[in-house]
Chain A
Amino acid sequence: EAGVTQSPTHLIKTRGQQATLRCSPISGHTSVYWYQQALGLGLQFLLWYDEGEERNRGNFPPRFSGRQFPNYSSELNVNALELEDSALYLCASTPPGITDTQYFGPGTRLTVL
């Protein structure tokens, strides 16, 4: 069974640009979660999508947004990039009705210059 996949592996942008990160959940999983792992800040919850709807978001500004597609894959968009957005962005998925046991992808490392 394929795990959670994320693309791209690495992304380099400059300040003010927009970044788009993609996630494909495990087959049969309907929820997708996004986390930010910035250096020295640990893992911070960003967004939760379930059945195409945004269910919850963490303490991040509105320039962090995303969506979930009918096939349950998801996109995270970060607008007006700032230097401190440089981090590893991790996506996780869960099957229907389960929220606590999350399975993570390998992450996208975003570098903002």
Chain B
Amino acid sequence: GNSVTQMEGPVTLSEEAFLTINCTYTATGYPSLFWYVQYPGEGLQLLLKATKADDKGSNKGFEATYRKETTSFHLEKGSVQVSDSAVYFCALGTYTDKLIFGTGTRLQVFP
């Protein structure tokens, strides 16, 4: 079946450091891939998405590239800010219904 595996957190970084959060997936067919972010006490916000192989999703300085050969969708940002502190979820979507989420990775950025 379909599944998503994310790196364990928390990830702790200093401001302006480079961020990578790993995400790999298992899927039949050709899923869409997503990164959602959850700030403390809030719901999920769609951060970026990619719908086919080699697509790059980007938003607010974050990027992720849909790599079919490595079944990965790693999230990167060149210079994190304290305001980026949140929980990040990688998710897989198909044309059926539900999204399948990874377990989430907590990012803590210190000044």
Contact = CB atoms under 8 A, between A and B. Distances in A.
Nearest to A105: B43
Contact of A58 (B31, B42, B45, B98): B98
Contacts of B32: 100-101
Contacts of A105: 43
A107 B43 contact: yes
Contacts of B44: 43, 90, 92, 104
Contacts of B36: 104
B97 A56 contact: yes
B97 A33 contact: yes
Determine the interface band of chain A, counting residues with CB < 8 A from chain B: 20 to 34
Interface string A17-51: 00000000000000001000000001101001000
Contact of B98 (A6, A45, A101): A45
Interface in A86-113: 88, 90, 92, 99-107
A48 B97 contact: yes
B19 interface: no
A58 B94 CA distance: 15
Given A56-B96, A101-B34, A106 B46 contact: no
Closest 8 CB pairs of A and B: A100-B93, A45-B98, A104-B44, A106-B43, A43-B101, A100-B32, A107-B43, A48-B97
Interface of A: 4, 6, 33, 42-43, 45, 48, 55-56, 58, 88, 90, 92, 99-107
